C-alpha cells in the first residue's frame, strides 16, 4: 500500500540557526523523488523531519492524507536506509531483515517466509545465517534495503545509501534499488549529492540550496530547462551571459551583452524573451569558429583541452571569460582570434539574477 507524501511550508531550526525555510514538496504515490544538493543544504534534516526525529517550527507533513507532523517516529511506519547501514551486529542477516516484522507482531512461519522472499529478491538468500561483520559493503547495503522493504512501508527514505560503496557497485546498486522500488511501487525520497545518481534513479529531482528547493522537476527538464541561474550552474551551464534586448523583429530579437557585442536570437527556440535576460550555454552550446564572417561573440582563445568528442577552449571575450567547444577537425592555437557562436537548441534563457 503506497501513499503520497506532502511537506507544506516546513521550517526547521537547530537552536537559533534556521536550516529549512518554508519548504514545500509533494511526492506522488509510487514516485521516487531525490533531494540533491551540496553538503549542509538540508537534505538529511528534511528526512529527519519526515521520519519524526526532528520537529518543524511550522508547517505540516502528511502521508496518504494523514497528518504526521506530531506523531512519534514509531507511529509513522517509514522504511529508512542509511549510508552506514545501521545493521545489528549480533543478529544474522535473516534476523536483521526480520527485525521489523517481529516488532510488528509477524512471527513464526509467516515471518520466515517473508524474510526468505525478500532475501531472494536482493540476492542474499545464501547468506541468511551470516553476521553483518562477515559481509561486504554492497551485501550490507542489500541487507539494509531488504530490512526496509520487508515491512512494506508506505514510504521509503534513503540517505546517501550508496556513498560507502565503490563506483562500480554504486551504479549496480542504484539500478537494483530503482527496480525494487518500481516493482513494489513504494513512494520514496532519496537523498544524494551525486547528480548522476539522482538523475538516473528518480522520477523527479529537487535541487536544494541553503534550506530551500530551487527547482523540482524531471531530470530531463532540469538538464535542458533549468528555471534559474543557480540550477543552470548546478547542471553544468558554464556560460551565463547577461543580455538586454535592443530590437524585436518578428521571429527574432537582437540583444546586446557587455562590451557591446550583439547577437540575433530566434524566438522560436526560446519562446518569449524578456527585455533583460541571461543567455545560458554549456560549452557544447557555444561553438568556436575561426570563420570571421559568422555572427558570434568575438574571442581570443586561451588554453585548449582535448575532450575526445571535441576540443574545449578557454576564451576571453568583451563579455568576460567563456568556455566553448570546437570541432576535432580544426585545431586552433592559443592566442588565435575566433568567434563563439551560440547553438540555440542547446542554450536556454533565464531571468536575470
Ligand atoms: N544536530 C544539529 N545541530 C545543529 N546544526 C545542525 C545539526 N544537524 C545539522 N545541522 C546543520 O544544519 C544544516 C543542514 O544539515 P543537513 O544534515 O540537513 O545537511 P545535508 O544536506 O544532509 O548535508 P550532507 O550532504 O553533508 O549530509 C547544516 O548547516 C548543518 O551544519
Ligand atoms: Mg546528510
In the sheet that holds 187-192, the strands lie side by side as 78-82, 155-159, 187-192, 32-36, 204-209, 212-217
Name the pLDDT band for 271 (thresholds 50, 70, 90): confident
For ligand 1, whether the C-beta of 42 sits within 6 Å is: yes
Name the pLDDT band for 320 (thresholds 50, 70, 90): very high
Does residue 3 carry a pLDDT above 70? yes
Residues near 204 by beta carbon (within 8 Å), at least 6 away in sequence: 31, 33, 34, 216, 217, 218, 219
Once rounded to an integer, what is the mean pLDDT over residues 342-347?
94
pLDDT at res. 129: 95
Distance between start and end Cα atoms, the chain: 43
Quote the CA–CA distance of 234 and 163 in Å, as a whole number.
20
- How far away, in angstroms, is 8 Cα from ligand 1 center? 20
Tell me the β-bridge partners of 31.
Answer: none
Domains and CATH numbers, the chain: 5-225 (3.40.50.300), 237-350 (2.40.50.140)
Residue with grid cell 540550477, as numbered in its chain: 231
pTM exceeding the 0.85 threshold for the entire prediction? yes
**310 or 85, greater pLDDT:** 310
Range 71-81 burial, b when 16+ CB lie within 10 A, else e? eeeeebbbbbb
pLDDT at res. 169: 82
Range 89-118 burial, b when 16+ CB lie within 10 A, else e? eeebbbbbbbbbbeeeebeeeebeebbeeb
- How far away, in angstroms, is 120 Cα from ligand 2 center? 30
Which residue is closest in CA terms to ligand 1's atom 18? Answer: 42
pLDDT at res. 122: 84
Q: Relative to the CA of 44, which ligand 1 atom is closest?
A: 22
Once rounded to an integer, what is the mean pLDDT over residues 314-337?
96
pLDDT at res. 1: 65
Once rounded to an integer, what is the mean pLDDT over residues 301-315?
97
Which residue is closest in CA terms to ligand 1's atom 17? Answer: 44
Quote the CA–CA distance of 165 and 137 in Å, as a whole number.
6
Does residue 197 carry a pLDDT above 70? yes
For ligand 1, whether the C-beta of 14 sits within 6 Å is: yes
226 DSSP 8-state letter: -
Cβ atoms 304, 313 nearer than 8 A: yes
Portion of the chain with pLDDT greater than 90, in percent: 79
- How far away, in angstroms, is 210 Cα from ligand 2 center? 13
Once rounded to an integer, what is the mean pLDDT over residues 30-34?
97
Cβ atoms 317, 279 nearer than 8 A: no
Q: Relative to the CA of 47, which ligand 1 atom is closest?
A: 18
Once rounded to an integer, what is the mean pLDDT over residues 303-324?
97
Q: Relative to the CA of 191, which ligand 1 atom is closest?
A: 22
Nearest to 143 by CA among 155, 161, 170, 159: 161
Portion of the chain with pLDDT greater than 70, in percent: 99
Once rounded to an integer, what is the mean pLDDT over residues 292-305?
96
Instruction: Tell me how far the alpha carbon of residue 331 is from its chain's centroid.
Output: 36
Q: What is the pLDDT of residues 94-123, one digit of tens each?
A: 999 999 888 888 888 999 999 999 999 888
Averaged pLDDT of the chain: 93
Does residue 332 carry a pLDDT above 80? yes
Mutating to test ligand 1, I would choose from 13, 36, 45 the residue with most ligand atoms within 8 A of its C-beta, which is 45
- How far away, in angstroms, is 94 Cα from ligand 1 center? 33
Name the pLDDT band for 82 (thresholds 50, 70, 90): confident
For ligand 1, whether the C-beta of 41 sits within 6 Å is: yes
Q: Is 203 exposed, middle or buried (0-12, 13-18, 19+ CB in 10 A)?
A: middle
Q: What is the pLDDT of residues 153-189, one digit of tens each?
A: 999 999 998 887 788 888 988 998 999 899 889 999 9
Which residue is closest in CA terms to ligand 1's atom 6? Answer: 14
Mutating to test ligand 1, I would choose from 21, 42, 46, 163 the residue with most ligand atoms within 8 A of its C-beta, which is 42
Amino acid at each position: 500500500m503506497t501513499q503520497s507524501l506532502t511537506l507544506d511550508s516546513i521550517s526547521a531550526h537547530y537552536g537559533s540557526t534556521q536550516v529549512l525555510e518554508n519548504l514545500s514538496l509533494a511526492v506522488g504515490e509510487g514516485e521516487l523523488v531525490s533531494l540533491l544538493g551540496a553538503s549542509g543544504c538540508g537534505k538529511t534534516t528534511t528526512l529527519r523531519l519526515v521520519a519524526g526525529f526532528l520537529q518543524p517550527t511550522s508547517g505540516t507533513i502528511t502521508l496518504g492524507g494523514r497528518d504526521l507532523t506530531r506523531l512519534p517516529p514509531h507511529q509513522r511506519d517509514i522504511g529508512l536506509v542509511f549510508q552506514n547501514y545501521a545493521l545489528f551486529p549480533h543478529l544474522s542477516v535473516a534476523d536483521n531483515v526480520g527485525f521489523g516484522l517481529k516488532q510488528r507482531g509477524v512471527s513464526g512461519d509467516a515471518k520466515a517466509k517473508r524474510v526468505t522472499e525478500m532475501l531472494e529478491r536482493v540476492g542474499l538468500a545464501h547468506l541468511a545465517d551470516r553476521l553483518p561483520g562477515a559481509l561486504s559493503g554492497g551485501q550490507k547495503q542489500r541487507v539494509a534495503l531488504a530490512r526496509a522493504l520487508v515491512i512494506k512501508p508506505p514510504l521509503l527514505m534513503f540517505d546517501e545509501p550508496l556513498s560507502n560503496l565503490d563506483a562500480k557497485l554504486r551504479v549496480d546498486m542504484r539500478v537494483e534499488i530503482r527496480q525494487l522500488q518500481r516493482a513494489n511501487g513504494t513512494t520514496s525520497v532519496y537523498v544524494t549529492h551525486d547528480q548522476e545518481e539522482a538523475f538516473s534513479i528518480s522520477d523527479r529531482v529537487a535541487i536544494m540550496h541553503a534550506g530551500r528547493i530551487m527547482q523540482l522537476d524531471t531530470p530531463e527538464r532540469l538538464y535542458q530547462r533549468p528555471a534559474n541561474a543557480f540550477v543552470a550552474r548546478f547542471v553544468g551551464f558554464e556560460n551565463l551571459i547577461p543580455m538586454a534586448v535592443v530590437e524585436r523583429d518578428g521571429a527574432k530579437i537582437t540583444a546586446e551583452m557587455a562590451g557591446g557585442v550583439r547577437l540575433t536570437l530566434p524566438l522560436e527556440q526560446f519562446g518569449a524573451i524578456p527585455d533583460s535576460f541571461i543567455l545560458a550555454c554549456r560549452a557544447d552550446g557555444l561553438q568556436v569558429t575561426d570563420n570571421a564572417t559568422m555572427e558570434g561573440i568575438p574571442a581570443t582563445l586561451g588554453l585548449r583541452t582535448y575532450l575526445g568528442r571535441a576540443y574545449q577552449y578557454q576564451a576571453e571575450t568583451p563579455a568576460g571569460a567563456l568556455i566553448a567547444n570546437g570541432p576535432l577537425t580544426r585545431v586552433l592555437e592559443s592566442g588565435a582570434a575566433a568567434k563563439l557562436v551560440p547553438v540555440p537548441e542547446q542554450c536556454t534563457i533565464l531571468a536575470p539574477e
